[in-house]
Structures are given as C-alpha cells and as structure tokens.
Amino acid sequence: MSIPAPKPAAPSLPPVVEFRGDVSKTFNAGTSKAYTAIHHINFRIDDVPGRGEFIAIIGPSGCGKSTLINLIAGFSTHIPATTGEVLVRGEPVTGPGRDRGMIFQRYSSFPHRTVLQNVTFGLDIHRRELDLTKDAINDMAMEMIRKVGLSGHEYKYPSQLSGGMQQRVAIARTLILKPSIILMDEPFSALDEPTRIGMQKLIIDMWHDIHATVFIITHSITEAVYLGDRVWIFTKGPGTIAVEIKDLIPPSQGVDPLEIQERQEFKHALEAVAREFKRVTG
Ligand code: ADP
Ligand code: MG
C-alpha cells in the first residue's frame, strides 16, 4: 500500500517552480536593518515527466542560497518575496505544503520520537485526507525505513544514531510523503566523506523512484557536479544566479559515486564548474 505517485504532468502544465519579475528578498525592509539577501532571480523549472530534475546550487556563504529555497518551501520567516513572484505549479507560494519536502543539514527529525514515529509523522498528520489506516501507515514507514537502510533501528531515538543514520531518517520521513519538490539545504555537509558518498548514492537511487524536482544546496563542487542536472553558481550577497551550467554528467543509478567521479568526463566537468565558480565568486 502506498500513496499514488504524482501523475506525470502534461506539457501544457505550468512549470514546477518559477521565479519571475525579478524576485528579491530584503529582510527587515524599511528599517535601518534592511538587508537584501537575493535579487534579480528569474528562472523556470519545467516538469520532466517520469524523471524530475536535480538543480544543485553553489555559492559563497551568506549569498542567499537558503533564502531562495526557503521561499520555495513557503516558510513564514521568508515569504512573501519582496519583489517578484514565486510560483509552484503556477500558484503563488503562500505557505508550506505536502508537495514540498525539506531536508536540512541537521535537526530534521524530532528528538523525542523514535525512528518509526519520525517516519510516520507526516502521514499521521494527513491520515484522514489520505484515507490511510494506522496499520497501512506503519507498513509504509517500515518499507521506507528498509529502503533507506535503517531496518533494525525502528525503535531507536535519533540521538542513538550516527549523523549519517540521522540523515537517513530525515530522508525517509520526507520521501514517504512523495513530495514532487525536494529541497535540501546542505544535507550532507556535517557528514564524513564515506558517509556522504553513501548518502549521494541513496539519494540518486531513491530519486529514480519518485521522479521529484530536487533543489540541493551544497558547498561541495564535486557533489554539485555529481548530483546536478544543472548547477547554479550564486554571486556574493546580495546573491543572484550568475551562471547556469546544464547538461552535466547524468547521475547513474546503481553505480558507485566514487567510480563515476573517477571518470575522465566527470573530471573535465568538475574542472569547468570549478573555473566558473572561481570567476564568479573570486
Ligand atoms: P546562504 O544560505 O547562502 O549561506 P542565507 O540565505 O542563509 O545565505 O542568508 C543570506 C543573508 O540573509 C545572510 O546575510 C543572512 O544573515 C541574511 N538572513 C537570512 N535569513 C534572515 C532573516 N530571517 N532575517 C534577517 N536576515 C536574514
Ligand atoms: Mg544556507
């Protein structure tokens, strides 16, 4: 039993996410503390039916990367944009929604809930509207826990898990809701390198199942090139998308990320993006 996957969009449907009319965000506007975090942001991400897309965002610290994805998430700390319009499937974003899932660097899970309770949480909230029984939710959660490699840890609390395992919980509790948009804010930055590679593999493998549009902020250019179908390089704050690099190496399911990252074509792509990054932010 599972929630039906979102139907593939017909070509005439509005873009998955669109920023138009020069989106900007000025915090504390109209006060002496006014600070413009991002400006002149315009883009549209169309649906790629049956696949979705990976957008990797890199840029100097404080340039407004989180601000951009928080606007998509619809967090009350960030909406509305100061200028321009932020649209998800053609509708202005007025708050968070089940169609958008967020994974942070840390603390994405409830410390006082077990792994299982964390994973069932979103479905419990929407149980009536989804017409799911408690048993069905439990089964779905157990299956998701298995998929992220946490079988046997269902009744542990996040504090009893390693950082990598905690991020697996965060991924499970987000993906079980089958969001069509996944927002990840430096999700693997706190993890050691081998764990991080394992997470990259997990996210690629799971993404092939759910066909979501993914925005991932990372400070690793290698990770951006590996995961991204396109990479956006932000300028220093106030940030804007200075460069978009498309048609990168397509991430392969079931292949060891390290193996791909050793390939010559990957290294060339990485060099090209690193050069652009230096030019834009240097
Ligand atoms: P990044 O994710 O690229 O490091 P952020 O989007 O978090 O950057 O922040 C961009 C700028 O906006 C920073 O200077 C930050 O201090 C400021 N900022 C972010 N959120 C708020 C807020 N809620 N109130 C005031 N300033 C903020
Ligand atoms: Mg940030």
Q: Can you give the pLDDT at residue 119?
A: 97
Q: Can you give the pLDDT at residue 1?
A: 55
8-state DSSP, 82: S
Which of 205-209, 210-214, 271-275 is the least confident region?
205-209
Ligand approaching nearest to the C-alpha of 63: 1
Q: Can you give the pLDDT at residue 207?
A: 84
What percent of the chain stands above pLDDT 90? 76
pLDDT in tens, 130-142: 999 999 999 999 9
Q: What does pTM read for this prediction?
A: 0.92
Give residue 67 CA to ligand 1 midpoint distance, Å: 6
Q: How confident is the model at residue 4 (pLDDT cuts 50, 70, 90)?
A: low
Q: Can you give the pLDDT at residue 251?
A: 64
The encoded tokens of residue 60 equal 């100097």
Q: For residue 33, which atom of ligand 1 is closest to its CA?
A: 25
Query: Above 80 in pLDDT, residue 252?
Result: no
Ligand approaching nearest to the C-alpha of 70: 1
| Mean pLDDT score of the chain | 92
Q: Can you give the pLDDT at residue 10?
A: 54
Which of 55-59, 103-107, 247-251 is the least confident region?
247-251
Q: Can you give the pLDDT at residue 233?
A: 98
Write phi, then psi, for 28 (nearest 5 degrees): 50, 40
| Alpha carbon 268 to chain centroid, angstroms | 25
Q: What is the mean predicted confidence (pLDDT) over 154-175?
A: 94
> Position of tokens 């979102």?
6
Do residues 250 and 90 touch, judged by C-beta distance below 8 A?
A: no
Give residue 79 CA to ligand 1 midpoint distance, Å: 13
Report the nearest-CA residue for atom 5 of ligand 1.
64
Collapse the DSSP code of 37 into the 3-class scheme (helix H, G, I; strand E, B; otherwise coil) and give the result.
strand
Q: How far apart are CA 50 and CA 71, in angstroms?
A: 25
- The H or E element spanning position 225 is helix 221-227
The encoded tokens of residue 114 equal 């077990």
pLDDT in tens, 166-198: 999 999 999 999 999 999 999 999 888 888 998
Report the nearest-CA residue for atom 13 of ligand 1.
62
Q: How confident is the model at residue 6 (pLDDT cuts 50, 70, 90)?
A: low
Q: What is the mean predicted confidence (pLDDT) over 61-67?
A: 97
Give residue 199 CA to ligand 2 midpoint distance, Å: 19
Residue 61 beta carbon below 6 angstroms from any ligand 1 atom? yes
pLDDT in tens, 8-38: 555 578 999 999 999 999 999 999 999 999 9
The encoded tokens of residue 142 equal 């157990």
| Alpha carbon 35 to chain centroid, angstroms | 25
Collapse the DSSP code of 158 into the 3-class scheme (helix H, G, I; strand E, B; otherwise coil) and give the result.
helix
